[in-house]
A and B are shown apart, each in its own frame.
Chain A
């Protein structure tokens, strides 16, 4: 069964360093998302991406964050200069297979745990 895959599963970085989290969404999906979950808190929306551009972003998604779909398969989240408070689990998700009814269901990856020291 197709699934969303994320790499790395865990990354430790120093404050101020750049981090790139990678995702391979399900191949025929059209909408892509990043969510994050700080330990013990709720899952929060960061950004959605459709038709090669950001369709919506939250207040969390400031200038330090960017997303790209560089080659038609990968979907990346870059944090330019990490802060301690960026430590969280980052989930990629995709939805909306072309030609199907919109059910609203998102398919999530297993997450990338980011630890900023």
Chain B
């Protein structure tokens, strides 16, 4: 069974600074997707960034980037130039694609609560 571990329950960062959220996972699959979802207070989870395991290049979305280390099964999220609106719960998640019937269910980590301080 797949597991996702986020070892930092809470983090804080000064506005405009950079912060890195950690995530490790365990799987025997060779092809899979990894995600970071953001959940602002009282709002729905939205996708921040996505990485396909077969791609060696780290995904980047504006101020968000990942450090994907497949051998180490590590998938950290770096937020550059942190903004107050980045304050949220961040979930790391894992999924395996299936050929004909959708994907395996998302497996989530426990989340990291990030506070951006003015």
Binding site for B on A (CB under 8 A): 3-4, 30-31, 33, 35, 41-45, 48, 50, 55-56, 58, 91, 95-96, 102-106, 108-111
Contacts and interface: CB of A to CB of B under 8 A. Distances in A.
Contacts of A95: 102-103
A91 B105 contact: no
Contact of B44 (A56, A105, A110): A110
Contacts of B106: 33, 35, 43, 45, 106
Contact of A42 (B33, B50, B102, B109): B109
Contacts of B111: 42-43
Interface of B: 33, 35, 37, 42-47, 50, 91, 95, 97, 101-111
Given A104-B33, A104-B50, A48 B45 contact: no
A21 to B, nearest CB: 14
Nearest to B42: A110
Contacts, number: 61
Nearest to B45: A108
Contact of A102 (B35, B43, B103, B108): B103
B102 A96 contact: yes
A55 B44 contact: no
Given A102-B97, A104-B50, A105-B50, A45 B105 contact: yes
Contact of A31 (B33, B43, B44, B102): B102
B102 to A, nearest CB: 5
